[in-house]
Structure 1
Amino acid sequence: MSDGPRLPGVEREADEDRIVCHVDADCFYASCERLREPELREEPLVVGMGYEEGETIGAVATASYEAREFGVESAQAISTALERLPRRAAFEDGTLDDPDLEREDTGYYRPVDMDYYESVAADVREILHDCAGVVREVSIDEAYLDVTERTAWEVADGFARHIRDRIRREVGVTVSVGVAPTMSAAKIASDFDKPDGLTVVEPGNVREFLAPLEVDLLHGVGPVTARELREMGLETAGDVAAADPEPLVERFGERGRELYDRARGEDDRRIEPKGDPKSFSRESAFAEPVEEPDPKYDLIETLADAVADRARREGALYRTIGVKAVTPPYDVNTRERSLPGPIDDRDLVDRIARDLFAEFEREPVRKLGVRVANLEFATADQTSLAGWESAVESDPEPDSESEPETGSERESGAEPGLESDPDPDPDSEPDPASGDRLVGQTSLADFS
């Protein structure tokens, strides 16, 4: 049973259907770049590598919806993308040799900046963990939430809308949310009305929802499997659900039985977190950038209390305390300090966070965050400030500082950066003969 908040008056029978949310960011890398450069909003935008002059190998990591209208797709060779959507920079400096080309037929290109995308993803993760008792992060921009103990089917639509709108309001990126009794149906639902979508499939309606969908929209079906299913005369999920499962098992092995079950809306997998979290953080944004120190220090105190309280509730000790200061336009500055031993001390979190933030106290700040990391989950007696104070003050380790981030997805499934789906389709691998080069995926394990 989750210790998190529940809607007033919501009671639940033990055998009531689960409520699963699948949260999937829309063109996540492009959305992050637009946070940093608001002028890129509503413009065709491609994030990838290999587009600079003289480079010949590279691939599209993600393309905004505006860029997709020109035929640019994730995992596409960058050379193909440039043919379909020439660079705006080359058009404006006159290096494009095409007198018939119009400005509106060009787009912006940006390199992949995983450090920056991870910092934005961390903000989203904090919201997800605040809204759900159980969260499974499967990639940098995708997660499953079990919200059975937080809401009820009668109000699941409003609860999911709250998650989606909170991410947009507090972080600035859009996500689509699918709600269903099963993981596979929830994932399909999140793709149903992109971007900024919300689709709820209530218990008893799952098979009806799935039936008209093309087979390649089934969770776990890639282009090769879809082609083979069509060769068997199975065009829709409803066809698969009504078929004899034995030929499917003969053709695909145990995966055939899985396809049959999921087409019928049957999926008993449970959402399992991926082990203990590596850090806890809490962040908050100002309505406008703030320059005066007092409001910033007041917010640091609030955030430090919140993150220390969560660590205590989760039974975690921490060896590292850090702060984040986001300065205009969207430069992310982080500072952290390591301690000589594991700590559980609210006052120490506040004191060190203030010390780390001091260099930014007179700078305009649009968002602040406090983080504890290097967690230990143990039954040993918790340690307070008194046990380590002399060591911290007499021989503190130097702060670990990172420079401001000023630099700078596979869309037919999880985007690069999100770990692959729990049961990815083997068909989804790129064709080695195509010359495409996908950006390596990065785990979302630190989403909490």
Structure 2
Amino acid sequence: MSDGPRLPGVDDEDDEERIVCHVDADCFYASCERLREPELRGEPLVVGMGYEEGDTIGAVATASYEAREFGVESAQAISTALERLPRRAADEAGEVDEIEREETGHYRPVDMDYYESVAADVREILHDCADVVREVSIDEAYLDVTERTAWEVADGFARHVRDRIRREVGVTVSVGVAPTMSTAKIASDFDKPDGLTVVEPGDIREFLAPLAVDLLHGVGPVTARELREMGLETAGDVAAADPEPLVEAFGERGRELYDRARGEDDRRVEPKGDPKSFSRESAFAEPVEAPDPKYELIETLAGAVADRAQREGALYRTIGVKAVTPPYDVNTRERSLPGPIDDPDLVDRIARDLFTEFETDPVRKLGVRVANLEFVAADQASLESWERSEDGSATDSAGQSTEAEPEPIRDDRSAGQSSLADFS
């Protein structure tokens, strides 16, 4: 066991069984929309594209549990969703009678910038609660918490993670805990929404056996149908089957299905390569207009980001800021540097400069980010180590040329969509 933070009562005995948490947000996009429109809570809500008048192509990105009761599902054609759950006229103005209210729902467009801002807050908590985190998508991640807890108190640890996300961010997640990644994934789906399921090492086969084959990790509708045609209805059936016909039918994936139905999965939770950026964000209790509190927060966030980069041994070429203004408009600015640096003072100065245009605007949340990372074992550089030769090329402090035409410093609006790892 490590010397890191642990729950009270955890001893130091070695335990070969990993403790893996799978954290999966419940209808994440819908939950985000309810953060900025609390009146949508408890109402059928569909987040998607193509429902506006005149649109001909679209799909459902996510549907709240209330909307799913009408047969609306993720990835469904928006035209089908509208047939099953017509759009509520009250979205435009006025009240609706009770009959229409019971038979209609709310529709909202996809707003990835906003969802990623919320996801960054969740991700910050996950990294605070675990030494190893693997982000799978914007709304789910695996955590290896073997060094943070023990099976005797794993239930309480997982509840702490779930409740902290709900309390500090405002969205609900379901958490599955198991010795393997595949079983933890199944466990997180077992009791949605706001669920918590712990499968201890000796209970895996008993937990999996009665589950329909559809619920096995990696089994979609087509594979489930083929398994049933082979007479395999449950995970227990797959676990008890001869693996050879499975391999013949599905190739190597057949062996994987067989192993996972038996609870066997030797994969370890590992991050997806080196991170592409480091960032920190913080929200105000209410939108703030006065410049001083905002610049003070910028200074704090810049210091935290630069400190993390130093601890991780990372140099960075890009520095950026985020300002979220009411209602939830996400504004980002960034500046690229001639070469990779490690300079906390420069992070602070550039972040302040980039934020200038928002200093009198009401701001709900601020963020500071460093990106275009390089992980090196050599001495880290500061901006002062980059000098210009007479021909304008960049040289390091030893006089070695680094670029014939160094990239000019520029300010850009962020383009495209970022991942969960991007502003976190």
TM-score of the two chains, using structure 2 as the length reference: 0.86
2:37 aligned partner: 37
Shift of 1:322: 1.5
CA deviation string 1:137-194 (max 9, x = no partner): 2222111111212222222222222322232233332221111110000000111111
CA deviation string 1:267-314 (max 9, x = no partner): 111122211111001112223333333333332222222111111111
1:317–1:343 CA contact under 8 A, matched in 2: yes
Q: How does 1:61-210 map to 2 (within 5 A)?
A: 61-89=61-89, 102-210=100-208
2:88–2:100 CA contact under 8 A, matched in 1: no
Partner of 1:177: helix, strand, or coil? strand
**Stretch moving more, 141-150 or 225-234:** 225-234
Give distance in 2, aligned partners of 1:63 and 1:79: 14
Give distance in 2, aligned partners of 1:447 and 1:234: 44
Q: How does 1:50-61 map to 2 (within 5 A)?
A: 50-61=50-61
2:398 aligned partner: none
Give distance in 1, aligned partners of 2:107 and 2:288: 32
1:4–1:132 CA contact under 8 A, matched in 2: no
Partner of 1:43: helix, strand, or coil? coil
- In 2 relative to 1, CA 131–182 (structure 1 residues): closer, same or farther, beyond 3 Å? same
* AA aligned opposite 1:86: P
2:225 aligned partner: 227
* Greater relative CO, 1 or 2 (CA 8 Å, sep 6+): 1
Give distance in 2, aligned partners of 1:367 and 1:114: 16
- In 2 relative to 1, CA 162–447 (structure 1 residues): closer, same or farther, beyond 3 Å? farther
**Stretch moving more, 82-91 or 373-382:** 82-91
1:170–1:285 CA contact under 8 A, matched in 2: no
- In 2 relative to 1, CA 148–232 (structure 1 residues): closer, same or farther, beyond 3 Å? same
1:170–1:284 CA contact under 8 A, matched in 2: no
1:333 aligned partner: 331
2:411 to 395, 399, 412: 399
Partner of 2:367: helix, strand, or coil? strand
**Stretch moving more, 32-41 or 191-200:** 32-41
2:24 aligned partner: 24
- In 2 relative to 1, CA 29–311 (structure 1 residues): closer, same or farther, beyond 3 Å? same
TM-score of the two chains, using structure 1 as the length reference: 0.82
Unaligned runs of 5+ residues in structure 2 are 393-406
2:114–2:328 CA contact under 8 A, matched in 1: no
Unaligned runs of 5+ residues in structure 1 are 406-416, 418-441
Shift of 1:202: 1.4
- In 2 relative to 1, CA 283–146 (structure 1 residues): closer, same or farther, beyond 3 Å? same
* Cα RMSD for the two superposed structures: 3.1
Give distance in 1, aligned partners of 2:157 and 2:298: 28
**2:215 aligned with 1:217, yes or no?**
yes
- In 2 relative to 1, CA 13–2 (structure 1 residues): closer, same or farther, beyond 3 Å? closer
- In 2 relative to 1, CA 258–396 (structure 1 residues): closer, same or farther, beyond 3 Å? closer
* AA aligned opposite 2:267: R
CA deviation string 1:82-141 (max 9, x = no partner): 1111111388679x9xx9961331112222233333333233223322322222222221
- In 2 relative to 1, CA 224–389 (structure 1 residues): closer, same or farther, beyond 3 Å? same
Partner of 2:202: helix, strand, or coil? coil
Give distance in 2, aligned partners of 1:301 and 1:2: 33
- In 2 relative to 1, CA 299–238 (structure 1 residues): closer, same or farther, beyond 3 Å? same
Shift of 1:330: 1.7
Task: Tell me how many residue pairs correspond in the alignment.
Answer: 407
Shift of 1:207: 1.2
Give distance in 2, aligned partners of 1:199 and 1:361: 46
Give distance in 2, aligned partners of 1:215 and 1:342: 50
Give distance in 2, aligned partners of 1:102 and 1:312: 58
Partner of 1:260: helix, strand, or coil? helix
